[in-house]
Amino acid sequence: MLLAALSCPQCSGTLPKAARWTLVTCPHCGAKVSANQHVVRRAAFTQAHDRVWSSYPADAEERRFKVGDRVVRLLAQLACGESSDVFLGERVGPFAERCTAKVAHDSLNSACHDAAVIPLRALQMSTVATASFFTTYLPQLVAVGVDHGLHGEARSVMLLRHPPDY
């Protein structure tokens, strides 16, 4: 292993070893230095974060709902069933991911979601030797909850990770 001292590019003074992973101030000349090219300044990150969250139009508010800590924007209706509607959605935020949202028609149909969630969670938590292979083909449960803003009344919502090959 080659040992190398980190030196300031402005004054050639020795830098602390923290300069390998973070931004440091040179103790000799006061320059801000880092050996890592991928340092992100807090102000730049905050500005980018605010830009992403403010880029969603206000008129899209009726096509959004919240389940747990996830805000989902509806993109299209995939199906309409006896007890619930199924939508293609996208998680709102910097790391958008597609999801399938199963929304109950009314509060009485929330028991249907519970009946689907319990066995799905049990299968995904299974410790049987072949379970790790077969559970990859099951829908991945993201969140289950109640949204009070969708269509004006409280409805049960089940979010599933949308398969990438659809």
Q: What does the alpha-carbon distance between residue 81 and residue 85 come to, in Å, rounded to a whole number?
A: 6
The mean pLDDT of 65-71, rounded to a whole number, is 80
Q: What does the alpha-carbon distance between residue 58 and residue 72 come to, in Å, rounded to a whole number?
A: 14
The mean pLDDT of 51-63, rounded to a whole number, is 60
Tokens standing for 125? 């938590």
What pLDDT does residue 3 have? 55
* Whole-angstrom Cα Rg for the chain: 24
What pLDDT does residue 40 have? 67
Half-sphere exposure of 51 (CA within 13 A, CB side): 6
For 20, residues 6+ apart whose C-beta sits below 8 A from its C-beta are 6, 35, 36
Question: Residue 61: is its pLDDT beyond 60?
Answer: no
The mean pLDDT of 123-133, rounded to a whole number, is 82
For 86, residues 6+ apart whose C-beta sits below 8 A from its C-beta are 77, 78, 79, 80, 100, 101, 102, 103
For 49, residues 6+ apart whose C-beta sits below 8 A from its C-beta are 94
Positions of E strands within the chain: 24-25, 32-33, 64-67, 70-80, 84-91, 98-104, 141-147, 155-161
Question: Residue 55: is its pLDDT beyond 70?
Answer: no
Q: What percent of the chain has pLDDT over 70?
A: 77
